[in-house]
Structure 1
Amino acid sequence: MKEVTTMPYISFLNSWKNHDLKRVTEMIDDTVAAYYINDLGEPIALNKTRLIQLLATRMAAVEADPHSQWNFEMIHRAHIHGNQMIMFYTYTNENQDYQNTPKTLITLTFGESSKNNNINQIKSVYITPNVTDV
């Protein structure tokens, strides 16, 4: 089994926080398996184009609001067949009552780096909005 020594999620989160959509796009595999979990708990499949559009829309909203900023809270890191998986919360507005801060839970898996750009590719994405702690 291949040992993973890099941490591609750090580069990914840094690019996201800095609204570097070009870099984020480069990190997402063309055949990514992506799902947005709606308020009914139903997964909606997204292709890479739709995933990037969703992220671009959200980035633009955060950029336009001077009171918003990206916050990332790592929940779990693991290796799957020598590749990395991460789970984290993201939210843009902090609430003094942390448990009532609406968050989005995101799970990503990274695969091998692309031969074209030597960047570990994101192979799967699961996005679950409106998560609150219990």
Structure 2
Amino acid sequence: MKNQFKLQPVLNYRQTLEDQAKQDLGRCLQKEAELMEEIQVKEQDLGALYRDLEARQQQGVSTDELLLYHHRISSKIEQLAHLADRMDRLRDQIVRKRETLADAARDKKLLEKLKEKKNLQFQQELKRRETAVLDEIAVQFHRRF
């Protein structure tokens, strides 16, 4: 008698799905970290622009320079808004990836529990048969004597 879990290929497939979901989530989290870093750099650039503009205004600044600073500041603010939108979309994607991973893990866990249950049933059946054989041997032994 051989213990075979007939759904092993399905379990293997579910494991593959879970692994893929982990990798997808990892890639998204990596993108989030990179985007956060990019946002921090842009915010630092914007802060530096504001500080530079303040310093230039104290020294005296021409109207053309003032317009250039405001244009650069507006451009940085637009870039930050665009990055914030990208971050929102990425965070939504991360939520979906986490849900996908949770579903894949739950599906795999169900099959693993089923496999354990089948293995336990197999072990119990094996033990029952072993006991029956030992009982038969004991009966045959008693008949001889």
TM-score w.r.t. the length of structure 1 is 0.23
Bigger fraction of residues in strand: 1
Q: From the CA coordinates, give the structure whose radius of gyration is larger.
A: 2
Report the TM-score when normalising by structure 2.
0.22
Q: Which has the higher contact order (CA 8 A, sep 6+)?
A: 2
Larger fraction in helix:
2
